[in-house]
Amino acid sequence: MASNIVEVERWELRQAGIYSLDAAREIKKRIPRRHTRQRQAAISERNARREVKTLLEQLKAEGKTVNLETGEITQLKESPPPA
SS3 letters for the chain?
A: CHHHHHHHHHHHHHHCCCCCCCCCCCCCCCCCCHHHHHHHHHHHHHHHHHHHHHHHHHHHHCCCEECCCCCCEEECCCCCCCC
What tens-digit pLDDT sequence spans the chain (83 residues)? 667 888 888 888 888 877 666 666 666 678 899 999 999 999 999 999 999 899 888 888 888 777 777 777 776 656 555 65
